[in-house]
Amino acid sequence: MLLYDTYPFKLPPLKYSYDALEPYIDSETMYYHHDKHFQTYIDNLNNVLKRYPALQRLTLKQLLRGNFSLSYEDRVTLHNNAGGVYNHDLFFNGLSPKGNGLYANSLSSLNSNTHLPQGELLAKINCTFGSFENFKEEFNKEALSVFGSGWTVLAIDNANRLKIVTLKNQDTVVPKNLEPLILIDVWEHAYYLKYKNLRAEYLNAIWNVIDFPIK
Ligand code: MN
Q: Say how many Å lie between the CA of residue 4 and the centre of ligand 1.
A: 20
More confident call, 116 vs 3: 116
Beta carbons within 8 Å of 68's beta carbon, 6+ residues apart: 52, 55, 75, 78
Residue 109 alpha carbon to ligand 1 centre in Å? 34
32 CA → ligand 1 middle, Å: 10
pLDDT bin (cut points 50, 70, 90) of residue 157 is: very high
Give the pLDDT band (50/70/90) at residue 184: very high
For residue 169, the CA-to-ligand 1 centroid distance in Å is 10
pLDDT higher than threshold 70 for residue 162: yes
**Is residue 105 very low, low, confident or very high in pLDDT (cuts 50, 70, 90)?**
very low
Q: Which pLDDT score, from 0 to 100, does residue 100 have?
A: 53
What is the pTM (predicted TM-score) of this model? Answer: 0.93
Ligand 1 centre to CA of 189 (Å) is 6
Kindly provide the residue ranges of all beta strands, DSSP E only, lying in the chain, ordered along the sequence: 150-156, 162-168, 179-185
Q: How far is the CA of 33 from the centre of ligand 1 (A)?
A: 6
CA of 127 relative to ligand 1 center, distance in Å = 31
Q: What is the pLDDT of residues 33-77, one digit of tens each?
A: 999 999 999 999 999 999 999 999 999 999 999 999 999 999 999
Q: How far apart are CA 71 and CA 64, in angstroms?
A: 16
55 and 7 Cβ atoms separated by less than 8 Å: yes
Encode 193-206: b = buried (16+ Cβ within 10 Å), e = exposed: bbbeeebeebbebb
DSSP codes of every residue in 88-138: HHHHHHTB--TT--HHHHT-TTS-S--SS--HHHHHHHHHHHSSHHHHHHH
Q: Please, what is the average pLDDT of the chain?
A: 92
pLDDT tier, 99 (very low <50, low <70, confident <90, very high otherwise) = low
